[in-house]
Amino acid sequence: MTQQVLSPIDRAILECLQADPRISMAALAEKTNSSVSVLSCYILSGQEDYLLRVVATDLDAFADFSRKTLAALPHVREVRSAFVMHTIKESHRLPLPQ
């Protein structure tokens, strides 16, 4: 079995969980300078490099996440945002053959 090398964020999460296994996700995110709400992350083709699907309590919370977390990353040059105004259809079910 090969050993996996833990990233600094992995180590920080494990240290927090070992110190307090009942810590809330919000408190864990706060202590590790991460986000409790980054739901999805995709690498894209085309002009943009990544697409993050994020849930925030309000625009101020998103702005805070965008400035303090995303824009603070070492290789991030620009952050572009778009917001869902209304959901027409959303499904996570795959179409299955009959």
Parent domain of 13: 7-36
Residues 23-50: tens digit of each pLDDT: 888 888 888 887 665 778 888 998 888 8
The verdict on 48 and 68 lying in the same domain is yes
The verdict on 30 and 42 lying in the same domain is no
Would 81 be classed as within a structural domain?
Answer: no
Would 51 be classed as within a structural domain?
Answer: yes
Q: Return d(Cα 98, Cα 81) in angstroms, integer.
A: 39
Q: How many separate domains does the chain show?
A: 2
Contact 35, 54 (CB under 8 A): yes
Would 1 be classed as within a structural domain?
Answer: no
For residue 14, which amino acid is it? L
pTM, entire model: 0.53
The verdict on 55 and 72 lying in the same domain is yes
The verdict on 23 and 42 lying in the same domain is no
Would 26 be classed as within a structural domain?
Answer: yes
C-alpha 11: how far from its chain's center? 17
Which residues, other chains included, contact 80 with Cβ-Cβ below 8 Å and sequence gap of 6+?
48
Q: Return d(Cα 18, Cα 37) in angstroms, integer.
A: 22
Residues 55-93: tens digit of each pLDDT: 888 899 899 989 988 888 888 899 999 998 999 998 888
For residue 21, which amino acid is it? P
Q: Quickly count: other Cβ atoms within 10 Å of residue 74's Cβ.
A: 4
Would 28 be classed as within a structural domain?
Answer: yes
Q: Return d(Cα 55, Cα 35) in angstroms, integer.
A: 10
The verdict on 41 and 71 lying in the same domain is yes
